[in-house]
Amino acid sequence: MRLDLLTGKTNTMGLHEQITEMRVKEVEEKTSRLFVKNLLKESDFSLEKIASLANVSLEFVKKVKARIRR
Radius of gyration of the chain (CA): 17
Domain coordinates in residue numbering, the chain: 2-69
- Give a three-class secondary structure readout of the chain: CHHHHHHCCCCCCCHHHHHHHHHHHHHHHHHHHHHHHHHHHHCCCCHHHHHHHHCCCHHHHHHHHHHHHC
What is the structure's pLDDT at 64? Answer: 97
Residue-by-residue pLDDT tens, the chain, 70 positions = 566 666 676 666 788 888 999 999 999 999 999 999 999 999 999 999 999 999 999 999 999 999 998 8
What is the structure's pLDDT at 66? Answer: 96
Contact 62, 47 (CB under 8 A): yes
Question: How many alpha carbons fall within 13 Å on the CB side of residue 18?
Answer: 7
